[in-house]
Amino acid sequence: MVEKALISGNEAIGYGAIYADCTHYFGYPITPQNELIEFMAREFPELGRTFVQAESEFASINMVCGAALTGVRAMTSTASTAFSLMQEGISGIASMELPCVIVDVQRGGPGAGSTQHSQMDYLLATRCAHGGYKNIVLAPFSAQEGFELTQLAFYLADKYRIHVILLSDGLLGQMYESVELKKLEFPPLPGKDWAMKGCAAHNYERTFIHNAPGIIGSYYDFMKRSKEKYERIKEEEVRYETYEIEDADIVLVSYGSTARAAMEAMYRARKEGIKAGLFRPITLWPFPREAINKMTEDKKNFLVVEDCMGQMIEDVELAVEGNAVINLVGSMDRNLPTGSGMILSKKVLEKIKSFG
Amino acid sequence: MEKKKKVIEVEINKEFCKACSYCVDSCPKECLVMGEELNSTGYNFPVFVNQDDCTGCGACGFLCPDIAIEVYEVL
Amino acid sequence: MRCTNEEVISASPLRVFCILLLEEDVLQREVSKGRKMEDNNKDLRRLISGRPKCFMIAGSPLCAGCQHGTISRIIGEVIDDLGIVGKTIAVGGVGCHSMLVMSASKFDLTTALHGRAPALGTGIKRGTDGKAIVFTLQGDGDLAAIGMGDLINATVRGEKLTTIFFNNAGYGTTGGQMAPTTLIGQTTTTTPSGRSPDTGGFPIHVAELMAGLAGVAYSARCAVNTIAQYKRTKKAVRTAFQKQIDNIGYGFVEILSACPPLLKMRPTDARKWFEKHMFAEYPLGEFKNVDETKIQYQVET
């Protein structure tokens, strides 16, 4: 029998980490991901795993880096403001090519912004910090998917030796849903023979993992290896879901919690005779660019729904290559243009109707 | 009974030397002097000149920042 | 990313051409056999002072007269003495201080972002379930400026780590700017008319500061100018490691290390300058040495 639980989106990610055999969690409290760090503080020590509350996100991301160096499955979670703080550490992790999972429960910005839901970290998560590296970005749209994508994130991280960002948002994190708790099965992974455990573990040959690929060793080799890795991920790991897309005249593109409002609007539009469909990217990097490009053969109207001033719309624009009209339902279309506002399906429906 | 005198060998890896002369300064018996010859990177390196006075305290080897000096006691 | 020792040396930022000097086969033999390699002449002669066993035969990428080299060797000797080379993991901060260890060590090594070595060390220590002996190498810019919070919080968290702090009164790698440890009146490239308390502030005494923190088991300040100081430093470093091995608390050693290029002096003059000025500002000695960390007050739950 599959275990079921009524849990918040944040806790679902925590359960996902437990089911993925993540053994080390390092975090720092920030709204709206507090349920996650509290969950980890409750559950991890009981399971004999490591929970550490760091003094800052600088420290927590570097602790993740240290733990990942030793070959264990490590993760941290944070929200937008502190996700910015973590960027240097994430760049460091990218230079060392360490597998780990970073959860970003998005809140409003810029600055301290708001403590409420938003989707304003899209560009930061997919375009990354200094140094031109890439990372896999996964975006769940329900607690169930959050639970499953967390397990997938750890698998992909180990498969490619890359860090994976799980881009959740405040609404999703705080929302309670019924989740089926089930361990996902993945193909076997290669061993972590590169892990640092003291030179005795490697027959007294030292392991030297460093964050300066341009100073130590061959920079060319590093760049070549990274490029090959990114190309492979782009080829093999693109994930998305489509709803009612076959006969659609207008395609909504949306990810995360906003995709739920978009989905409702899409079905309401269909009831009113408008042929709408929904395209929901699950991997934001690699972005399903080809799938969207292919749709432009017979679909010329795209409506991007995201709770920001327009970030994913840039990727959609690149994908359609000028072959379609793109409009945005963004933060300006929240039901209340304040910190507590959110995009409702009513507004999306209005936009669908007035498209053109 | 006469105490047997220790035989000390001081090996100087001239290529590692950067001529800081800490070894010459630290030798209590003035057994080392800075030489005139240059190594391949252009530094003049110390020369062990006074084997008879050397007590094998190891100070030159301990304080050398470039690990260019090794002091051995011949058994 | 793993790379061979030759690559490390050939690409070291200071571009010392030690690659030419390496005896290839000797190096290869050393690398492959690691610690197990015994001195061939063991029965014939005894090493009094020289290269620690846990260092490969490699030239130092540091400047002439830089005492970081001496300190690095002390660390190597202590690791040899304690017999922990197989489970030691070094975390080098950003700066000159870890360069010799980077190019020569036989133990595992990683590099941290600027100032984050104690946090990275925490991750490694936890990741290995406390089995690894983790120590951080940090300079005064890395530790006392950008990384002060990480260091203090690592001790506050009760981490069992060891930190070797290289205090050379300025930023060496970037070309001689002011550090928090720069003396008042000392000229650097960012204090061209001498550090003034009005605009540049005051030197920070990290060893004394560390002694006041509950999680710290050992804190000392040492130097390596004379052979007596060398021996005291070695003892201090050994104790700092021992506190970690015995799972007592944080071990911290601050070591004053002359940087001739920073002072724009000849090595011997730089050493004298350190004796005259640095020792006056930073007294040498042991500031804390306890066998258990104390709990002052506890709420009953």
**B and A make contact (3+ CB pairs below 8 Å):** no
Check residue C44 and give its pLDDT: 79
Contact C131 A198 (CB under 8 A): yes
Size of interface A-C (CB pairs under 8 A): 172
Q: Spell C205-221 as b/e; 16+ CB within 10 A means b.
A: bbbbbbbebebbbbbbb
Q: Give mean pLDDT, residues A273-298.
A: 96
Check residue C34 and give its pLDDT: 43
Contact C116 A89 (CB under 8 A): yes
pLDDT digits (tens, 9 = 90+) for A90-110: 999 999 999 999 999 999 989
Touching check for B9 and chain C: CB below 8 Å?
yes
**Rg from Cα positions in chain B:** 13
Touching check for C15 and chain B: CB below 8 Å?
no
DSSP state of C87: G
Contact A25, A52 (CB under 8 A): yes
* Cβ atoms < 10 Å from Cβ of A173: 29
Nearest-neighbour CA in chain A from C11: distance (Å): 5
d(CA A319, CA C145): 46
Contact B66 C44 (CB under 8 A): no
Check residue B1 and give its pLDDT: 55
Which of C14, C18, C48 to substitute to test the interface with B, most B CBs within 10 Å? C48
Provide long-range contacts, Cβ within 8 A and 24+ apart, for C31-37.
C31/A205, C31/C4, C31/C5, C31/C56, C31/C106, C32/A205, C33/A204, C34/A199, C34/A203, C34/A204, C34/A205, C34/A206, C34/C106, C35/A199, C35/A204, C35/C85, C35/C86, C35/C106, C36/A204
Q: What sign for the dihedral angle of Cα A295, A300, A301, A307? A: positive
Nearest-neighbour CA in chain B from C65: distance (Å): 5
Touching check for A256 and chain C: CB below 8 Å?
no
pLDDT digits (tens, 9 = 90+) for C93-122: 999 999 999 999 999 999 999 999 999 999
Q: What is the DSSP string of A296-308?
A: TTT--EEEEE-SS
Check residue B51 and give its pLDDT: 86
A184 pLDDT higher than 70: yes
Contact B18 C49 (CB under 8 A): no
pLDDT digits (tens, 9 = 90+) for B54-73: 999 999 999 999 999 999 99
Touching check for B34 and chain C: CB below 8 Å?
no
Contact C34 A204 (CB under 8 A): yes
Q: Which residue has the tokens 């996964």?
A: A138
Among chain C residues, the shortest Cα distance to B39 is held by C21
Query: ipTM score here?
Result: 0.94
Contact C50 B19 (CB under 8 A): no
**Which pTM was predicted?**
0.91
Q: How far is CA A77 from the centre of its chain?
A: 11
Which residue of C21, C268, C271 is in closest CB contact with B16?
C21
d(CA A73, CA A52): 14
Contact B70 C67 (CB under 8 A): no
Contact B72 C48 (CB under 8 A): yes
Check residue B44 and give its pLDDT: 93
DSSP state of C15: -
